[in-house]
Amino acid sequence: MSITSTDATTTIKVPVALRDRLSVIARQQGTTLAGAIAHSLEVCEESGFWTRLDDVWTADPPLAGGVLPSDTWKHAMEPEPIWDDIYDA
């Protein structure tokens, strides 16, 4: 996901310590706080994807020859829902 200056923005309240941690990450990545948050979310979402895939693999491993045994795999590959419609107070 790319953040641009034309994207709608909002203000979020976070503890100062969290803001400071994000500032360090943003500096290290050469980006803004928004860029650091976006990158962190992408890493978290990707980690969740691989965790779900690992859970499915453990519960329903492929058969010999690489044949997938069920539609369970298809569901594991689906992305998590996006919560864009959450109320922004």
Whether residue 63 lies inside any domain: the answer is yes
Whether residue 89 lies inside any domain: the answer is no
Looking at residue 81, its pLDDT comes to 65
Mean pLDDT of 55-70: 62
Whether residue 88 lies inside any domain: the answer is no
Whether residue 7 lies inside any domain: the answer is no
Give the integer Cα–Cα distance in Å for 87 and 1. Answer: 22
Q: Using 50, 70 and 90 to split pLDDT, how confident is the model at 36?
A: very high
On the 0-12 / 13-18 / 19+ scale of CB atoms within 10 A, 36 is buried
Whether residue 83 lies inside any domain: the answer is no
Domain coverage including residue 69 = 16-77
> What's the total number of domains in the chain?
1
Looking at residue 15, its pLDDT comes to 93
Residue from 80, 53, 49 nearest 62 by CA: 53
Q: How many residues does the chain have?
A: 89
Q: Is 70:55 a contact under the CB 8 Å cutoff?
A: no
- Cα dihedral: 19, 24, 29, 35 (round 10): 10
